[in-house]
Amino acid sequence: MKQYVIIGNGVAAAGCIEGIRSRDKNGGITVISEERHAVYCRPLISYYLEKKTDPGRMQYREKDFYDQNGVRVLYNEKAEEIDALQKTVRLRTGNLLSYDTLCVAAGASPFVPRFDGIETVENKFTFLTLDDAFALEKATDRDTKVLIVGAGLIGLKCAEGLHGRVREITVCDLSDRILSSILDAERAKTVQRRLEDNGIRFLLQNSVKQFERSAAVMQNGERVSFDVLVLAVGVKPNSGLIAEAGGEVNRGVLIDEKMRTSLPAVYAAGDCTEGTDASIGEKRVLAILPNAYMQGFTAGVNMADGNATFDNAIPMNAIGFFGLHIMTAGTYVGEAFEETDDEGSKTFFIKDGCLKGFILIGKTERAGLYTSLIREQIPLDQIDFELMKKSATSAAFSAQKRKTMFGGVTDGTD
Amino acid sequence: MKRIYVKEEWCLGCRLCEYNCAFANSGEINMAEALKGKQIYPRIHVEGNNSITYAVSCRHCEDPVCVKGCIAGAISRSQGVVQIDREKCVGCLTCVLVCPYGALAPGENGSMIKCELCLQNQCGAPACVSGCPNGAIVYEERDENQ
């Protein structure tokens, strides 16, 4: 009987379990979980603060998921070291776990830069785990003034989550725009306005020079007082275990299209990894939930002697603030084309005759058709892209292609 | 398994499928009460261009990317049917971002709706199919690999 070990208990681990069990019903699976919770939907922690969900509904899988899959979970446990030659994992408790194949799905940690005086701040938080959300819930009330450092996805979802709970929210960022990893300057302004209309204040191109207990002295001299500080500057992949074991690591653990690391019998999946971005063909950390699941599943299949490939990962995000929906995907290279009306805007980035990326604000219907143009790198001269720009519709495809999509007819190429 | 297939050359573009779908999933017994004067939220949509129309609904993929992509663990596949748990759904639209068919859309309360083949509602079989006046939507068992 094979022994599988998974380091981490997030969505990539759940994918890995399901991948293994799709081929091997009997092998032993052990999950090492630093968190005390069964796998939950991490991106929903802001929705929890918003009271749009609760811990019960945030469970990623059914209650009996681990039992049904014959998985042993070691909660509040940590992997300290991987020995890729002996094929063992040393735990914090000192115990050794032996494996035949190992998956590192260790996730990411908050990146907290050094700030002068940060040690004087009592109420400081990060925002990545369910326990972070519980802690913030406890630390805030209607009179609380919140300062969030970082206007990225995490910082802003945190702001939205806290919005109805607290008196005042200020968000600062060194960048000149919000969501700088996914939006261009103009689109960022549109989204910023929506947040400002809801009372969130921004200090951009401005960072904290020094903290003094419950105040931040900004680089421009402004003084911001707060009761609660949230540090949401960024995240870093937890790649240390692989690096220390001698595996190849860049920003994240380097993996191939089979989710193999450079160490024998060691796979990796999820936010700790750096795989290939199919929209540009370069290595990139793609820390998003859909990729975590798909990478985990692929790793699981291959760990159980299967032959699975996941080679069309692209960056993509569906995110919304106060009812304004935003979708982005791919890479913003090549020529930009824009479609704007009262409902919102669509921006497309085209290079070498293929769609490479898009930004949709407010107009998100059937956006998956655009996403698949990027994933599959479909030559745009094969479709009616003029129609497609206005409306994501398979009417822009050939009748033959539609028959394969909706008519149950194969395309005749196989 | 049985799936819904469309014959676009037979589609009249009448959108009756949308109304029958919205009614079937409304929980009401009277169609006028269910739909009259209301914004409807069908799980099938007629699309097209100047020359053709056809109805689009969930393909119930063998390897559904919406299930893998859902950040709320709200979409699952059971006996071939891709289903959504609207209690878990938070309306983030990630499924819209990943579905290559455009088969999901927000419902009346912002949580997502999709075709579940009318297996859970009072119809028991797809209302769009039985109500299509021209036989342009069918519900059949086919081997798609042949």
Q: What is the pLDDT along chain A (414 residues), one digit of tens a residue?
A: 999 999 999 999 999 999 999 999 999 999 999 999 999 999 999 999 999 999 999 999 999 999 999 999 999 999 999 999 999 999 999 999 999 999 999 999 999 999 999 999 999 999 999 999 999 999 999 999 999 999 999 999 999 999 999 999 999 999 999 999 999 999 999 999 999 999 999 999 999 999 999 999 999 999 999 999 999 999 999 999 999 999 999 999 999 999 999 999 999 999 999 999 998 889 999 999 999 999 999 999 999 999 999 998 999 999 999 999 999 999 999 999 999 999 999 999 999 999 999 999 999 999 999 999 999 999 999 999 999 999 999 999 999 999 999 988 765 443
B1 in contact with A, Cβ within 8 Å: no
User: Within this chain, do residues A229 and A275 fall inside the same structural domain, yes or no?
Assistant: no
pLDDT at B142: 84
A278 and A293 in one domain? Answer: yes
Asked if B69 has any chain A CB less than 8 Å from its own CB, the reply is yes
Tens-digit pLDDT profile for residues B60-91 = 999 999 999 999 999 999 999 999 999 999 99
Exposed e or buried b per residue across A199-237, where buried means at least 16 C-beta atoms within 10 angstroms of its C-beta: ebebbbebbbeebeebbbbbeeeeebebbbbbbbbbbbb
Whether the predicted pLDDT of B131 surpasses 80: yes
- Residue B111 Cα, gap to closest chain A Cα (Å): 11
| Residue A412 domain flag | no
- A52 in any annotated domain: no
Q: Which residues in chain B touch residue A60, judged by CB atoms under 8 angstroms apart?
A: 73
With tokens 């063992």, the residue in question is A88
ipTM of this complex: 0.96
Q: Tell me if A212 is assigned to some domain.
A: yes
Cβ of B52 within 8 Å of Cβ of A399? The answer is yes
Name the domain count of chain A.
3
**Residues of A in Cβ contact (< 8 Å) with B146:** 410
Residues of chain B with Cβ-Cβ distance to A41 below 8 Å are 71-73
For B49, the closest chain A residue by CA position comes to: A395
Q: What range does the domain containing A288 cover? A: 3-42+58-108+236-303
- Identify whether residues A16 and A71 lie together within a single domain: yes
How far, in Å, are A304, A328, A374, A401 from residue A353 at the CA level?
Answer: 39, 19, 11, 19
- Same domain assignment for residues A32 and A93: yes
Has residue A331 been placed in a domain? yes
Give yes or no for A58 touching B (CB within 8 A): yes
User: Closest-CA residue in chain A for B99?
Assistant: A368
CATH number for the region B60-114 comes to 3.30.70.20
Looking at residue A408, its pLDDT comes to: 80
C-alpha distance from A224 to closest chain B C-alpha (Å):
32
For the segment(s) B1-57+116-146, the CATH number from 3.40.50.2000, 3.30.300.210, 3.30.2350.10, 3.30.70.20 is 3.30.70.20
Give B106's contacts (C-beta < 8 A, 6+ positions apart): B91, B93, B112, B113
Determine contact, residues A21/A118, Cβ cutoff 8 Å: no
Phi/psi at B110 (5° precision): 90, -20
Q: Among A59, A290, A405, whose Cβ lies nearest the Cβ of B94?
A: A290
Tell me if A86 is assigned to some domain. Answer: yes
CA distance B29 to chain A (A): 30
Judged by a CB distance cut-off of 8 A, whether residue A289 touches chain B is: yes
Which residues 334-393 of A are in CB contact (within 8 Å) with B?
364-369, 371-372, 384, 387, 392-393
Last residue in a domain, options A208, A233, A258: A233
Non-local CB neighbours of B103 within 8 Å, separated by 6+ positions: B56, B57, B58, B59, B114, B115
| Of A340, A344, A332, A391, nearest in space to A190 by CA | A344
A184 — alpha (psi -120 to 50), left (phi > 0) or beta? beta
Instruction: For residues B87 and A133, give the distance between their C-alpha atoms in angstroms, rounded to a whole number.
Output: 20
pLDDT band at residue B146, thresholds of 50, 70 and 90? very low
Strand partners, B141: B2
Nearest to B144 among A44, A387, A410 (CB): A410
**Mutation site for B-interface testing, chosen from A374, A406, A409, A410 by largest number of B Cβ within 10 Å:** A406
Residue A263 maps to a domain:
yes
Distance from C-alpha of A139 to C-alpha of A177, rounded to nearest angstrom: 28
Chain centroid offset of residue A69 CA: 25
Domains B1-57+116-146 and B60-114 share a fold: yes
Q: How far is CA A374 from CA A258, A370, A378, B124, in A?
A: 21, 7, 7, 38
Residues of A whose CB is below 8 A from B94: 289-290, 318
Last-in-domain residue among A216, A233, A250: A233
Residues of chain A with Cβ-Cβ distance to B1 below 8 Å are none
The CATH number for A192's domain is 3.50.50.60
Whether A314 is covered by a domain: the verdict is no
- The model's confidence at residue B144, banded by pLDDT at 50, 70 and 90, is low
The predicted structure's pLDDT at residue A411? 53
Q: Which residues of A touch B92 (CB under 8 A)?
A: 43, 318-320
Residue A318 DSSP SS3:
strand
The CATH number for A332's domain is 3.30.390.30
Instruction: Tell me, yes or no, whether A49 lies in a domain.
Output: no
Count Cβ–Cβ pairs < 8 Å, chain A vs chain B.
121
Mean pLDDT for B82-105 is 97
Q: What is the pLDDT of residues B1-47, one digit of tens each?
A: 899 999 999 999 999 999 999 999 998 999 999 999 999 999 999 99
> Which residues of B fall within a CB distance of 8 Å from A408?
3, 5, 140, 142, 144
Query: Euclidean distance between the first and final Cα of chain B, in Å?
Result: 15
**Same domain for A155 and A200?**
yes
Give the nearest partner residue to A366 out of B5, B69, B96, using CB atoms.
Answer: B96
Structure tokens at A15: 């994918």
Both A224 and A284 in a single domain? no
Instruction: For residues A153 and A13, state if they share a domain.
Output: no
Show me where the domains of chain B are located. Answer: 1-57+116-146, 60-114
